[in-house]
Structures are given as structure tokens and as C-alpha cells.
Amino acid sequence: MADNSSSLTVPHVVRREDYRPPDWLVPDIALDFDLDAAATRVHATLSVTRNGDHDRPLKLDGDGLLPLEIRVDGNPVAADLWSMDSGALVIALPDAVHIVETLVEIAPQDNSKLMGLYASGGLLCTQCEAEGFRRITFFPDRPDVLSRYSVRMAADKALYPVLLANGDPVEQGELPGGRHWARWNDPFPKPCYLFALVAGDLACNADRFVTMSGREVQLGIWVREADLPRTAHAMQALRNSMAWDERVYGREYDLDVFNIVAVADFNFGAMENKGLNIFNSRYILADPETATDIDYDGVEGVVAHEYFHNWSGNRVTCRDWFQLSLKEGFTVFRDQNFSADMGSHAVKRIEDVRILRAAQFQEDSGPLAHPVRPESYMEISNFYTATIYNKGAELIRMMALMLGPERFRAGTDLYFDRHDGEAATCEDFVRAMEEGGEIDLGQFRLWYEQAGTPHVRALLTHDPVARSVTLLLEQTVPPTPGQPEKRPMAIPLRTALFDPETGENRGDELLMLTEARQSFTFQGWTAAPILSINRGFSAPVIVETNRSQADLAFLSAHDDDPFARYEAMQQLMVNVLVGRIGGQAVDEDAVIAAIRNAATDPLLDPAFVAEAIRLPSEAYLGDQMAVVDPDAIHAARDALQRRIGAELEPLWRDIHARTRANAFALSSVAKGARKLRNTALLYLAASGAVDGPTVAFGQFSEADNMTERQAALATLANGTSAEREAALDIFYNRYRDDALTLDKWFQTQAFAFHPDTVDLVEELGRHKDFTLTNPNRVRALYGAFAGNQWAFHHPSGKGYRLVADCIIALDKLNPQTAARLVPPLGRWKRFDEPRAALMRAELQRILLEPGLSKDVTEQVSKSLE
């Protein structure tokens, strides 16, 4: 199979407005796999029915496939009745109903794109979303063609003792020559992107779950034998997710088995195939020795995400890929709320907003900005973005806020009931919210259409004579590619006013900003109140206010909304840092006092404190500047961090000592203590205290868990001490045979604030343990590096060259993962002209590469516009 056969020189643009229902439906499909890593034969039997009154032929998508046999109603097809059209098989059919059979041969072991059927370790596994099924067999590869699947697999029994597919197992048996077979049936009609099979030598963590109607479901998490002890957390997360979806959405699981398989080579997080989820092993495997608390939370969140797709994605699927956020935005919203319920709502919200700002706001202000429901694409794989996922989740969150819990639940009930078994659209979802929730979402729909992050200016003015205050709100939505003009959006802003004398919150209100400029007046204020706005981050917007540093300091100590309190603290820090970068005189003492207050407040959750006292990231500071100056940002942030470290040194020592635990626990309390402890270590190291490296090395050596070990390593990696090299060596030697943990060794170095990071990354790219064939390893090195603003934007341009070289080399193997590295280079307009020129030059160099995939072509050419 020629792996790059689908690459086109001029990629074809697919447009939302061109949607037409399918010409042919496929109510049933039987697949017969003769599995072998070098040569797998796939025999497909499709029952096809003409959809509507037309005489168009049957078109079955294919990518790199050759038909070895084609039969219609049992007879070979005459040569003049079929043809190939850019990979697809086209067959002229006389009647309304036929049986079509095809036979193809594919080579899983040569499939480096990791789309379709591929080999990972000794396993054979599949990934079909979005358009991988066409690399397995000829089929109408679009989500609005739903079929019942019957799958038979035959394979060598010693190499592949376990054979899994979607649905329920029905039959199995032995074959001559040491082979065996199994058949699985999935009774629920599904689009082909949800097809999956796995064959391999796997061990099972087996458990059961009794659903709310009393049915028993067999749960299985399948991994390599040696990894079984690391599956307990994923299993607990699965059972919790199943119970949560029953309790919160009334949704019950619908098959007798639910299987999850972990694989080492995977292009993204995980995949919700019906009854057979396939996961990147980093989102299944966890134990204290190798997983950080962030990893544990990642496992819980992704297990939940994929499980929740059984309703939001599988039972109700997408009509076309422009509707991707229908399932992804909604499912992210569901997994965020699940994780909040399992831990802290406040901390989860802060984390989610931090991710949104770091990934989605950057996307929304760059050349790849697109609406939550895009209008066009060249390669759909490029649209699995923070906008579709995370901004999409914010849209659902705003609707849930405007409706309130009861009416939102009425809306989701109506949505699931009305569209069960269908391929639906974002519009269907909004309509169900309107009808079930009895609300008009007319203007709100703009959130699906308009790209770009809205800016809101909030000016509060006090009239002491009238004893009133007026809040003037102005919104603008910046132009984005293809959308020069924007209309005003409907923006829900949770707002409160605080009495400056009593510190009291006089009531939370949901203000709906619907016009470009709008005023709200509040009576009964003798003294000017303090404004708390966009509480809980009620809308995914950038808010600019006329609040003083004193107001922000007040809110950072007194706001009763934890997100708003965190936000006030961050804004306080941003103002000081941006002022410092701009050469203004700034009052750092206010920041230090606010940090001291938060860190010594016994009533605050330590996990919250750790979030609140952390300085905003270099990238976030860059977002606040007209032209990003990576060196000035790094210098200013580093200097403030040192000063906070030095002035509060006794406090950091005290926190570090008192948060030390005797034994590992995974409770929220223990996780919070570790998070705060690691932050204290960071500040202690920044203080310049001579024993900083010793304390960090002590934590590194004594820790009984990866959360503290990796944080200590990261702290050391920022410096130049002898302990840095010692810790890196110890870590490498301890984990060299554990791929997921070795990823942390690469990642920590690529992410370090170290003057030589760019050279170290170049060396690590030649390390014997570095490989382009494993996406986790690529992301650990180059993905982390491209997110290290100071290092990546080294004025020499060397960082750009390293990433461009990686994109060029990786594109030949795995275009999807290569394309994910393009956006950091594409942000050149945000930087000074010398850097911008260097970045553009690398993009142009990539574009000249012969045989470039359409994945990378789309991202690079859009980035150069």
C-alpha cells in the first residue's frame, strides 16, 4: 500500500454549504478480516439501498486500496461497470437494493500514519475517525451513513490470542494451522468512524457495572500483562463515569460489554468506538511511581470523555464533520463537569480556563482561527482543535448557565430523545435547548458562526449625588480569516458589586450583553463599589476593566467566587509584569502582599492557593502585548519570581516542610498538598538561597510519587546546578525502559527555562531513545519545546528550524501529527519583524517540500496568508 497515495498537490476544499444527503445507504455490513501484520485481507459485504430518486452510481471511498474482487449480488462485476476515482471505487448499479462485496489487502505493519488498521507493539488496532475507515475497506466514509456491523476476525492464535471488535462477542472457534477466529456483532447502527477491532496478546482487568435499570455490564480494560497493575484508576474512573451519566443526564449504557484497550502508538488522546474504546496508553496507565497527579486527572477525564461519547457522539452522532463540536464540545463540557464533581469545582474551572486561554485564545487570534462550526476545510484532521473542543464546551456552558440546571436538563433530554439513532447538527442541539429550555437562542447562534475571541470593556462609574453606579459595557469581536466584519454577540456575564466598606457582595446578577455598547445602572451606592465581572468565567471573552490595583488586591482577598478571586490575583500580576516590561514604575509589593495573604490563609484550599500564587505563563503575558517580546517577558517574569522567592523565603520553607506527607495518598487533600508543596519549592529555588538545589534534589530523591519527583526535576532543570545533571541521569536510568515515563524526561528538558534549551533539544532529537514513529515521544520533545516561548523564539531562529525540520521529516511518516506542530510557527504576525521573517522562511521552506501532505499543506499555507 502506497502510504502517501492520498496526498494531493492542490488540496480540495470541502464546504459546509455543499452538504447533500448520501446517494446510497448501507443498512448492514459484514466484515471478514484475515489478520496478519504484513498482509491482511478484508472482505466486505454491504447491503446497499438507493437513497431517493436518482441514477447516480454507488461511490465507495478508498484511500490506498486496490479492489482484488468486486461482486454485485454474488456475481463478478463487468469491467465497464466500475471505475476508480481519486481512490474511491465507483460502481454503476441498476436497482434500488443490492449486495456489494469487495476484497482488498492492506499492510498494517507499514501503516505509519496510524490511521486505519495499524500495528503498535505486537498489537493490531484501528483508528477510523475521521476518515481512516477508507484505508481499511471501500465504504461511504461519512458520518451520516449508519450501518449494523457484523465482524469476523481470523488470526494466528499465538500472536493474537485476543480478538476484539465493537458490540457483543457472539461466536469463536479454532482453525487449522494454529489460527483461530471470533465474531462480534454490534446491534446499534453506527457510522464507520466508530468501527474498531483489536488483535493481540492482551491481559484484562475485568470488572462489572450494574446499570440503573439493573442490567449487568462486563467491563474490560485490556493492556500488556505487565501493565495490569496500572489500570485500577482507569477502571474506577469508568465506573464513576457510568454512574454519573445516569445520575446527571439519565443516560444508561446499552451493550452487555464495554471494553477499553491501551496502545502505545496513538495520534491523540483516545477514541470512543462503540463498545470498544481505544486509548493512548498515557490516558489509561497510572501508578504513583510513574504518574503525576495531572496524569491521574488526565486518565479520569479522558476515560469519562470517551465513555460519555456513547450518548453524545454514538447514539446521537454528527451529520457531517462541520458538526464536530456537536459531539466534542458537548462531551468536553460533560467530562469537565464530571471531573469537577469528582474533585474541586473551583480548581477544575481555573485549570480549564488556563487551558482555554493557552490553546484556544491563541488559535482564535492567529491565522488558523475558525468558528466552532467551520465553513470549510481541506483536511478534517486539522479541525480537531481547541476551538471545536474547548470553545465548543464553553458554548454549551453558557447555554447551561442561561437556562439553569432544570431547563438545561429538559433541553438535553429532548435532544437525546429526539435524535437517538440519528446523525444530527449543531442547529438541532440549539433547537432542542430552545424548545426544552424555553428560551430564545437567536442571537446566541452567532457563537457557532463567528470566530475570534470577543473583547469586552467594562467601565464602572459612580455618581455620589444620585447614589448610583453605571456599568458601561462595550464589545468588539476582532476580524479573523474570512470574517472581516463581526456582529455583536450575546454574552452572559455573571457580575457582582462589592461594598468597599463592609467587603460584602450585594448580590450576583447575570447581565446579558447583547449590543455593541450597553449600560446597566445600580442604585443605592453611597461609596463606589468594586466590580467583580465574568465570575466563574461565565463567557469565553477577554475582559478589560478600569479597576485599580487596589481594587484587584481587594478582590484577590475577598471575592467569594473562587474563579474571580483567582482572576483578580492574576490580573494584579499581569499589570505589574506588563508594566515592568514596558519600563514603567510598578508596585510589586502589592503582588507580594497578595501572595502572602493567599499562602497564609488557613481557610483556603491548598490546591486553589497553588493556582492563585503562580505567576501567569510567559505565553499568557505575550498575549497581553501588541508585539510579543519573549526575552523581555522572560526577564521580567523571572525577576519577579526571584523577588517573590527571596522576600517570602521563610514562608516557602515553612510550606515546603509542612506539606511533606508520610505516605502517598490520592485524595484531594493529598493532591492539593503536593501541588502547593511543588509551588513552594519553585519559589524557594527562585529565591537564590544557596541550599535551593539541595532542597530540590532532596525532594527528587525522597519522593514516593512522580508528582513530587517530576516537579523537583523540573525545578532543577531550570537552573545550572550540578544537581541538575545528577537528577536527569538518575531519572533516565530509572525509567529508560518505560516509554511513558521516559517521555517526561524529554518533556522536562524541552520545557525548561534554561539558556541552552534550544541546543539541548537539538541534541535530544538525536538521542537513541528519540523516535519519530511514536507520537507521544514527538510531542514530549518538539511539542513541549514549541510551547516554551522563551526557548522556541530564540532570536537566532534555531528553534524555528528545529521544529520545521521535525515537521518535514515527520510528514513523510505521520502527516496528522506533523501538522499539529505547525501552529506555533504560524503565529509570526505576533512577533517582531526579525523573528517574523525567520518564522515565515521556515514555513516557506516546508511548503517547498515535494510530496507534502494535505494536512501540513493546509496548515502552512493558511499560516502564510
- Assess whether the previous peptide bond of 130 is cis (omega < 30° from 0): yes
Which range touches ligand ARG (CB under 6 A), out of 265-273, 343-351, 602-610, 768-776?
265-273
Cell 468558528 found at: 371
* Of residues 308-347, those binding ligand ARG (CB under 6 A): 328
Identify the three-state secondary structure at position 159.
coil
User: How far is CA 366 from each of CA 12, 67, 369, 564, 762, rounded to the nearest angstrom?
Assistant: 23, 43, 6, 27, 27
Could you tell me if residue 790 is left (phi over 0), alpha (psi between -120 and 50 degrees) or otherwise beta?
alpha
Strand partners, 356: none
User: How far is CA 133 from each of CA 108, 126, 154, 313, 822, rounded to the nearest angstrom?
Assistant: 13, 9, 19, 17, 26
Minimum gap (Å) between residue 484 Cβ and ligand ARG: 30
In terms of CB distance, is 131 or 328 closer to Zn ion?
328
Q: How far apart are CA 454 and CA 777, in angstroms?
A: 36
In terms of CB distance, is 92 or 355 closer to Zn ion?
355
Which range touches ligand ARG (CB under 6 A), out of 170-178, 266-274, 414-422, 563-571?
266-274
Judged by CB under 6 A, the number of residues near ligand ARG is 11
Nearest to 113 by CA among 841, 772, 797, 784: 772
Contact 564, 535 (CB under 8 A): yes
Minimum gap (Å) between residue 271 Cβ and Zn ion: 8
Provide the CB-side half-sphere exposure for 777 (13 A, CA): 19
List of E strands, 213-323: 216-223, 257-263, 270-271, 276-280, 317-318
Which grid coordinates are listed for 454? Answer: 470577543
Residue 306 falls in the annotated catalytic set? yes
Judged by CB under 5 A, the number of residues near Zn ion is 2
**CA-CA-CA-CA torsion for 638, 639, 640, 643, nearest 10 degrees?**
120
Nearest to 823 by CA among 478, 452, 366: 366
Minimum gap (Å) between residue 123 Cβ and ligand ARG: 19
**Which residues have a Cβ under 8 Å from the Cβ of 172 and sit 6 or more positions away?**
163, 180, 181, 182, 183
In terms of CB distance, is 567 or 855 closer to ligand ARG?
855
Which range touches ligand ARG (CB under 6 A), out of 14-22, 264-272, 514-522, 827-835?
264-272
Minimum gap (Å) between residue 284 Cβ and ligand ARG: 14
Which range touches ligand ARG (CB under 6 A), out of 269-277, 334-342, 692-700, 744-752?
269-277
In terms of CB distance, is 26 or 125 closer to Zn ion?
125
Contact 683, 648 (CB under 8 A): yes
CA dihedral sign, ordered 416, 419, 424, 427 = negative
Site string (106-135) toward ligand ARG, x via CB under 6 A: -----------------------xx-----
Picked from Zn ion, ligand ARG, none, the partner binding residue 811 (CB below 5 to 8 A depending on kind) is none
Q: Which amino acid is it at 684? A: L
Minimum gap (Å) between residue 250 Cβ and Zn ion: 21
* Of residues 560-619, those binding ligand ARG (CB under 6 A): none
Picked from ligand ARG, Zn ion, none, the partner binding residue 381 (CB below 5 to 8 A depending on kind) is ligand ARG
Which range touches Zn ion (CB under 5 A), out of 315-323, 326-334, 655-663, 776-784?
326-334
Q: What is the DSSP letter of 383?
A: G
In terms of CB distance, is 241 or 718 closer to ligand ARG?
241
In terms of CB distance, is 130 or 403 closer to ligand ARG?
130
Per rule CB under 6 A, is residue 384 in the interface with ligand ARG?
yes
* Of residues 327-356, those binding Zn ion (CB under 5 A): 328, 331
Minimum gap (Å) between residue 440 Cβ and ligand ARG: 31
> What is the layout of strands, in order, in the sheet containing 162-165?
116-120, 123-127, 197-200, 162-165
Per rule CB under 6 A, is residue 855 in the interface with ligand ARG?
no
Active-site entry in 306, 379, 567, 708:
306
Q: How far apart are CA 684 and CA 56, in angstroms?
A: 72
Minimum gap (Å) between residue 426 Cβ and ligand ARG: 16
How does strand 69-72 pair with strand 58-60?
unpaired
Which range touches ligand ARG (CB under 6 A), out of 78-86, 137-145, 267-275, 410-418?
267-275
Minimum gap (Å) between residue 308 Cβ and ligand ARG: 9
Per rule CB under 6 A, is residue 541 in the interface with ligand ARG?
no
Helix axis angle for 706-717 and 722-735, nearest 10°, is 140
In terms of CB distance, is 114 or 145 closer to ligand ARG?
114
| CB neighbourhood size of 723 (10 A) | 22
Could you tell me if residue 534 is left (phi over 0), alpha (psi between -120 and 50 degrees) or otherwise beta?
left
Which grid coordinates are listed for 509? Answer: 446578577
Per rule CB under 6 A, is residue 745 in the interface with ligand ARG?
no
List of E strands, 35-161: 40-50, 58-60, 69-72, 75-76, 82-85, 88-91, 97-106, 116-120, 123-127, 147-156
In terms of CB distance, is 331 or 857 closer to Zn ion?
331
In terms of CB distance, is 305 or 677 closer to ligand ARG?
305
* Of residues 29-58, those binding ligand ARG (CB under 6 A): none
Per rule CB under 6 A, is residue 306 in the interface with ligand ARG?
yes
Minimum gap (Å) between residue 317 Cβ and ligand ARG: 11
Helix axis angle for 324-342 and 293-308, nearest 10°, is 130
Per rule CB under 6 A, is residue 381 in the interface with ligand ARG?
yes
Picked from ligand ARG, Zn ion, none, the partner binding residue 270 (CB below 5 to 8 A depending on kind) is ligand ARG
In terms of CB distance, is 24 or 330 closer to ligand ARG?
330
Per rule CB under 6 A, is residue 63 in the interface with ligand ARG?
no
Picked from ligand ARG, Zn ion, none, the partner binding residue 130 (CB below 5 to 8 A depending on kind) is ligand ARG
In terms of CB distance, is 106 or 388 closer to Zn ion?
388
* Of residues 129-188, those binding ligand ARG (CB under 6 A): 129-130
How does strand 24-34 pair with strand 147-156?
parallel
Q: How far apart are CA 860 and CA 826, in angstroms?
A: 7
Which range touches ligand ARG (CB under 6 A), out of 248-256, 268-276, 292-300, 695-703?
268-276
User: How far is CA 280 from each of CA 94, 172, 245, 306, 474, rounded to the nearest angstrom?
Assistant: 45, 28, 23, 12, 44
Per rule CB under 6 A, is residue 272 in the interface with ligand ARG?
yes
In terms of CB distance, is 376 or 694 closer to ligand ARG?
376
Picked from Zn ion, ligand ARG, none, the partner binding residue 129 (CB below 5 to 8 A depending on kind) is ligand ARG
Minimum gap (Å) between residue 325 Cβ and ligand ARG: 11
Q: How far apart are CA 758 and CA 750, in angstroms?
A: 8
Chain position whose Cβ is nearest to ligand ARG: 384
Minimum gap (Å) between residue 132 Cβ and ligand ARG: 8
Identify the three-state secondary structure at position 199.
strand
Picked from Zn ion, ligand ARG, none, the partner binding residue 271 (CB below 5 to 8 A depending on kind) is ligand ARG
How does strand 75-76 pair with strand 69-72?
antiparallel
Which range touches Zn ion (CB under 5 A), out of 291-299, 323-331, 534-542, 833-841?
323-331
Minimum gap (Å) between residue 306 Cβ and ligand ARG: 6
Per rule CB under 6 A, is residue 387 in the interface with ligand ARG?
no
Minimum gap (Å) between residue 300 Cβ and Zn ion: 15
Give the DSSP H or E segment for 759: helix 757-764
Q: What does the binding site for Zn ion look like in residue numbers (CB under 5 A)?
A: 328, 331
Q: What does the binding site for ligand ARG look like in residue numbers (CB under 6 A)?
A: 129-130, 268, 270-272, 305-306, 328, 381, 384
Residues labelled as active-site residues: 306
